Structure 1
Amino acid sequence: MRGKRYCEIILTKTISSYAVYNTWGLNDCPEQLWNKVSISAVKKETGSSFVHLNGPRYWVIDGFKNTSLINPAIKTISGIPMREAGILHLSLIDLFKNKPYQSHVVDRKTTWVYQADKPVFELIDPNGQVFVMQSYSVQKYPQTMNTLTQLGAKLQLPKGWKFKTGMLNKPETIQAVNNKAVVVQDNFLNTYQKASHDFLK
């Protein structure tokens, strides 16, 4: 699963919740289709007042368990088959600010698996909370799995935040506690999920 490509389209659900549609398990978000997707066309097709295109992205997890979709029904958006994988809770103010290093809650039933002897990438906030990268983005900057190790020198970290990378000594998992995942994005649009502890200690 690590290194596999996918895309997401985020649509309005209610005034403060947004449906996250994901291509994972259906297709790898074909370049020729994704390049033709436009926000205006998706708004027209879905009737959604807000649309966010999130991708292409690549997984930095090795697998998952005890994981299920919000809705397994396939919805084709701009010619790309997708399924509803999560519900993002966000106020309108946060939505329009869309700042990096702000935590958001996503309703989803997921447990990410990280294998031993594989690299992990962590953000640690000023309170010591640890967020582990689940996927990286090529939407804003060209990135590969190999360039992620150099992120520490590139990220514009807020005061008190740290970036760490290293190899896992043992397998680890991150579970969405009570089916709620707390996630942050860095300024390269890479996504991290809050973990119960530092994997690199």
Structure 2
Amino acid sequence: MSRNKMVMTALKLAVASLSFVCTFSGAADQPAPDFKRSISNLRGQRYCEVLYGKRHWLNLEVKVFNTQGLNLCPEDQWKALSKESIEKAYDASFVVLNGPRYWMMDEIQAAGETVNSVKESFGGMEMNLRATIDLSLLKQLMGSKHYTPNKISRTTNFIYRAGGSIYELTSPAGEVYVMQSYSQIVNPALNIKDLPILDKQLKLPAGWVYSSRVLDQDLSLVANGVAYVLQDNLSNSYQRR
């Protein structure tokens, strides 16, 4: 695999989820987040992301833009986007088109730097800036594997409502990751009806288990500054409980 391809794969794994009782992913001694923004009725909602980066020696500055709250990533506009035009417009070293994806939580609350009003238009499709990240080359290469958690800086609360289904990956060590979005990047035909039996399509590493269940009470996944996120081999994203 070429270095550029490894970098792009790593970025997809690391930032697919940067847009938007509790289990905390942040430090226990940090104060509870003061959530300033909330978006509801998200389950099954389509979104897309554009990531572009500039290389500075062995580091990359990556900007992550997301359609959430602005549009539903219209298929014709998404297909019309090209990496080359974005690279030229933003003098970028590389571009990743990450989508389409579909949210699996019911509500997102955000705080801190996760909330901002910076917008860009890509092929006429508006997107908000969700994060700016500096990634060293070593970290990019180390984060380029599926089923490997990446440490993401963000302050969010992903809320899954009682009565809804959730889909989880459990590691050999007993760590549980809840699906936050499913993707049509690898399998364009994947839809929400496939998720209860998704293990038939997954290439699970030894000791990993995929399961689904219906919640009997609300579930909140709070990232208090830090979230641990991974992707399966179909580019579906999960956050650690």
**Residue identity matched to 1:75:** E
**Residue identity matched to 1:168:** L
Q: Deviations over 1:96-148 (max 9, x none)?
A: 67321121122222111000111101111122111100010011102111111
**Structure 1 regions of 5+ residues with no counterpart?**
196-201
Matches within 5 A, 1:160-199: 160-177=207-224, 179-195=225-241
Q: Highest CA radius of gyration, 1 or 2?
A: 2
CA spacing shift, 1:72–1:85, aligned 2, 3 Å: same
In structure 2, how many angstroms separate the alpha carbons of the residues matched to 1:7 and 1:46? 19
Matches within 5 A, 1:1-201: 1-12=42-53, 15-67=59-111, 69-87=114-132, 90-92=135-137, 95=140, 98-141=144-187, 142-177=189-224, 179-195=225-241
Q: How far 1:10 moved relative to its partner? A: 1.4
Q: Deviations over 1:38-58 (max 9, x none)?
A: 112111112221211110001
In structure 2, how many angstroms separate the alpha carbons of the residues matched to 1:55 and 1:190? 10
Q: Deviations over 1:5-50 (max 9, x none)?
A: 0001112266245222100000111111100111121111122212
* Aligned partners of 1:58 and 1:136 also within 8 Å: yes
In structure 1, how many angstroms separate the alpha carbons of the residues matched to 2:94 and 2:176? 30
What TM-score comes out, normalization by structure 2 length? 0.74
Give the number of the structure with larger relative contact order, counting CA–CA contacts within 8 Å between residues 6 or more apart: 2
Aligned CA RMSD, in angstroms, stands at 2.0
Q: How far 1:180 moved relative to its partner? A: 1.8
In structure 2, how many angstroms separate the alpha carbons of the residues matched to 1:106 and 1:164? 24
**Residue identity matched to 1:170:** Q
CA spacing shift, 1:148–1:105, aligned 2, 3 Å: same
* Aligned partners of 1:70 and 1:86 also within 8 Å: no
**Structure having the larger proportion of residues in helix:** 2
Q: Deviations over 1:167-188 (max 9, x none)?
A: 11110011113x2221101011
In structure 1, how many angstroms separate the alpha carbons of the residues matched to 2:228 and 2:132? 12
In structure 1, how many angstroms separate the alpha carbons of the residues matched to 2:184 and 2:133? 21
**Structure 2 regions of 5+ residues with no counterpart?**
1-41
What TM-score comes out, normalization by structure 1 length? 0.88
In structure 2, how many angstroms separate the alpha carbons of the residues matched to 1:89 and 1:147? 35
